[in-house]
Chain A
């Protein structure tokens, strides 16, 4: 059994899922809005890299792609907040209305991208509806310089993943801004009474959510042999699963769940496919079998009616005694 490819796929998918799942949890726990337009960030992030690649004659540095994708994703996040989420919130709309509204936004963005692709296709004569993988020139240069022969997507995903996770950790745990964001997440009214500018922090959260998620898109185009405007939809299914396992609250558990789901869908599927001859159709069934099991056996906050892990740990300690 060729386990190496399945492990490589698991590794890269782990980073793609982590970079797209963590912002979903972050946005929900801070804003209490379940954003159905989340796949837009992934798709637009990927397509910014694709457009850059085309306009830079296939000489795109990762640094430039990351900068543009992050900014585009962030701006879409802020735009959604200012035009959809904030007005609805001010009118006291229910979470269901927020969900439907963001779902509507997703459709608008999705078809806007199709229009952009078709216009660019006419102008450039290249097909953007299914685009081959994008190689980043700066990473290629570094790999050649140090004689690293591993596939580029392993270097790209490791570098970008670690940079983002470390930056996010520092932001949330070592800066006043991060404390304020966590304060808003825990108790919005109390935080506002303490002088934390709720509106600005919400906008910042959506900017970070959009920006970080868009970075998963630039990993995708580097890894996959073909990218279509539907890519966000494929990835977001796992994002929702991971975010629910994380209780829509814990970033650490969301990240671990993302990696676990990536491993499950690749390794378990390879095993079943090779030894039992099962078709790949069962892949999502395997993933969601795991999700259901976790949600039922150990329900996290909100999603399954359980408590946040940190509260449960404290309660556990109290029950167990000193």
Chain B
């Protein structure tokens, strides 16, 4: 009886040990496996945040909201490049709304800097860039502005880069075009803003050097609810001075308002209109009333753009997957993010501003994107001197911005 008991006891002990070994082995096996898998699949990643300051509200928001998908697409492309190179650097955008205002843009730059971000993409406007310049200089804060092109910000040796060429060449090209179109007298009508003020000044110099004359200049304030009375003032001068054309520089919200009022003014319908790219791509301008007006006054616009670039078409197609449609400067936004990211990769993820600045210059030399060759001049501005001519027209019953020619090296080609 005792033997049986002892044997049973021994069997229970042996079974327990066996079960314990099996369970222990299984747990040990899987835990060991897990450890191996963890070390294999989740390498330590370094985040590199790029600050993005764009106008998601305010007068130029209809253009800038379309830049957000562009930024997301460029960041994905950068991360793919980083991954394919076997690097552990992951880019992330930190997007803030600057409302198109200089004060908000400065606040955003300060916020980014305080958060340890050393490169900012944006802001959209030259007036905003001007407001940030002192902060950028003092803190060696790198800015890559995708749309600013005021010649007053073409300064060598600072930490500001622009993927849009300076407007000096553009104002000259427009002056050449005006003379070729037999326009000899112009009323300059523009918003009180860094880009438009400076563009008008440079245009005046170029135009008058070629024998033309700016007979009057009207500057209107930004941020008004309505511009009907400003248009009435313009119409009054157009009637009394009978210029050959009106040079208009404004943005989306004010532009749509002004053009819709101008469409009802006989004096303004009888004068040609030359416009610049500042409202190119704004959806609020695309209404039948304004299109009909643009046709009536034979409106011609100018914008800097590479003449032929298959990468641009590819960019447009890919952007659709991100729910975006290209607006003015979209391609420059993409190029700005890419140049910034590639420079960071080149430095191995450095945050040293001087190292990054040098890397940006070097990367831009060999970079070619939807906005063309990225090469920067001594002022940090993109070197490019080709301009497309555009107008507003109905295409298959839909109002659209339509390219009608180009200017390259003082050669003007009208396609229709």
Given contacts A127-B283, A280-B224, contact A225 B229 (CB under 8 A): no
A9 within 8 A of B: yes
Interface residues of B in 223-260 (CB under 8 A from A): 224-233, 235-237, 239, 252-260
Residue among B226, B254, B323 facing the most chain A CB atoms (10 A cut-off): B226
- Tell which of A2, A6, A127, A281 touches B65, judged by Cβ atoms closer than 8 Å: A127
- Tell which of A121, A126, A130, A266 touches B282, judged by Cβ atoms closer than 8 Å: A130
B261 with A5: CB separation less than 8 A: yes
The 4 A-B pairs at the shortest CB distance, nearest first, are namely A225-B260, A234-B225, A9-B228, A5-B232
In the complex, how many angstroms separate the beta carbon of B337 from the nearest chain A beta carbon?
20
Please tell me which stretch of B42-50, B55-63, B179-187, B386-394 contacts chain A, meaning at least 4 of its Cβ atoms lie within 8 angstroms of it: B55-63
Contacts of A281 in B (CB 8 A): 192, 221
A173 within 8 A of B: no
A313 within 8 A of B: no
Given contacts A2-B267, A129-B65, contact A228 B58 (CB under 8 A): yes
Alpha-carbon separation in the docked complex, A229 to B219 (Å): 25
A132 within 8 A of B: yes
B265 within 8 A of A: yes
* B residues in contact (CB < 8 Å) with A: 56-59, 61-62, 65-66, 192, 218-221, 224-233, 235-237, 239, 252-261, 264-265, 267, 282-287, 289-290, 323, 325
Alpha-carbon separation in the docked complex, A132 to B59 (Å): 13
Given contacts A225-B258, A279-B219, contact A133 B62 (CB under 8 A): no
A269 within 8 A of B: yes
B265 with A226: CB separation less than 8 A: no
Given contacts A2-B267, A6-B229, A132-B285, contact A225 B65 (CB under 8 A): no
- Tell which of A9, A228, A280, A283 touches B59, judged by Cβ atoms closer than 8 Å: A228
In the complex, how many angstroms separate the beta carbon of A218 from the nearest chain B beta carbon?
16
In the complex, how many angstroms separate the beta carbon of B85 from the nearest chain A beta carbon?
33
B252 with A130: CB separation less than 8 A: yes
A104 within 8 A of B: no
What are 19 A-to-B residue pairs whose CB atoms are below 8 Å? Answer: A2-B267, A5-B232, A5-B265, A6-B229, A6-B232, A13-B226, A118-B65, A127-B283, A130-B253, A130-B284, A133-B260, A151-B264, A223-B226, A225-B256, A225-B261, A226-B255, A226-B257, A270-B229, A270-B233
Given contacts A2-B239, A283-B224, contact A273 B229 (CB under 8 A): yes
B257 with A224: CB separation less than 8 A: yes
Contacts of A33 in B (CB 8 A): none
Contacts of A9 in B (CB 8 A): 226, 228-229, 232
Q: Chain A contact residues: over half helix, strand or loop, or mixed?
A: helix
B225 with A231: CB separation less than 8 A: yes
A274 within 8 A of B: yes
Alpha-carbon separation in the docked complex, A279 to B220 (Å): 6
Alpha-carbon separation in the docked complex, A47 to B11 (Å): 83
In the complex, which residue of chain A has the Cβ closest to the Cβ of B69?
A: A122
Contacts of A235 in B (CB 8 A): 225
Give 16 new A-B contacts, CB below 8 A, not counting A130-B62, A270-B232, A273-B218. Answer: A1-B236, A5-B232, A126-B283, A129-B57, A130-B282, A130-B283, A130-B284, A133-B289, A151-B264, A226-B255, A226-B284, A266-B228, A270-B229, A274-B237, A280-B227, A280-B230
Alpha-carbon separation in the docked complex, A229 to B254 (Å): 14
A131 within 8 A of B: yes
In the complex, how many angstroms separate the beta carbon of B187 from the nearest chain A beta carbon?
13
Contacts of B283 in A (CB 8 A): 126-127, 130, 132
- Tell which of A2, A6, A125 touches B325, judged by Cβ atoms closer than 8 Å: A125
In the complex, which residue of chain A has the Cβ closest to the Cβ of B232?
A: A5
B287 with A132: CB separation less than 8 A: yes
B220 with A280: CB separation less than 8 A: yes
In the complex, how many angstroms separate the beta carbon of A308 from the nearest chain B beta carbon?
31
- Tell which of A6, A133, A226, A274 touches B252, judged by Cβ atoms closer than 8 Å: A226
Contacts of B258 in A (CB 8 A): 225
Contacts of B237 in A (CB 8 A): 274
A3 within 8 A of B: yes
